[in-house]
Amino acid sequence: MTVLASGSPHTRLPIVILISGRGSNMHAIAERAACGDLPVEIRAVVSDKAEAAGLATAASMNIPTRSLSAREFADRASYDQALAALVESFQPRLVVLAGFMRILSPGFIAAFSDRILNIHPSLLPLYRGLHTHRRALEAGDALHGCSVHFVTEELDGGPLVIQAQVKVRPGDSESTLSARVQRQEHRIYSQAIDWFARGRLQLREQRAWLDGRPLHTPVIQAPLDDDPGNALD
């Protein structure tokens, strides 16, 4: 299907999803797209690891897959240049990072300026980087969660779009907390992508804009009872 413009009610936004592992967010996005709940066309799933389990998942859903290993390149800049060329070959209007575990270079980000989204498993600006669930537990936080943001050169520091909160329970481990946070990731990432695809969400003046207004703070999904069957408002 040819896409004429983001937000047109009769078209689907072409996207490319980047992964490094299982690709659970990719799978959730693909399922929603396949059933018509999300107005996107996944042109490809690309991984920096040929063995990434998410590639097999995508292939089973008839989504084109590609892998590109950094080991084949002399340095980060040359790898990111090749990665950008590969992604651009699918002509996406949005690049979706779904567990892609490489820090992207300024050159890659510039190639897709204003159209890269990422999901991060913390309530940013808390706990940028890795081991977010462990750090939340060690800090004794009452609330933890996840954030969708536009990607800029600042690691996990781009303009925030939407966050979901979960309550930290007594006795939580990294794995139990991670599982509940991940369910919320699947909710809010699809929501942010839907807004972008319908022309409601933009990155302008280094700030996220929703429905023509700047987001001074992210949209917040309040703590739930952690039932995975809860629908997004």
Would the annotation count 230 as a binding residue? no
Would the annotation count 187 as a binding residue? no
SS (H, E, C) 103-169: CCCHHHHHHCCCCEEEEECCCCCCCCCCCHHHHHHHHCCCEEEEEEEECCCCCCCCCEEEEEEEECC
Give the torsion through C-alpha atoms of 37, 40, 42, 43, to 10 deg.
Answer: 150
Q: Residue 138's closest CA among 151, 153, 122, 150?
A: 122
- 164 by Cβ neighbours in 10 Å (0-12 / 13-18 / 19+) ranks as buried
Q: How far is CA 112 from the centre of its chain?
A: 15
Per annotation, catalytic residue among 10, 27, 120, 131:
120
Q: Is 120 a catalytic residue?
A: yes
Would the annotation count 169 as a binding residue? no
Would the annotation count 116 as a binding residue? no
Collapse the DSSP code of 44 into the 3-class scheme (helix H, G, I; strand E, B; otherwise coil) and give the result.
strand
Would the annotation count 25 as a binding residue? yes
Would the annotation count 128 as a binding residue? no
Q: For the chain, how long is the longest CA-to-CA vector?
A: 51
Would the annotation count 119 as a binding residue? no
Measured distance CA(182)–CA(115) in Å, rounded: 23
Annotated binding site: 23-25, 76, 101-104, 118
Active site residues: 120
Residue ranges for the binding site for (6R)-10-formyltetrahydrofolate? 76, 101-104, 118
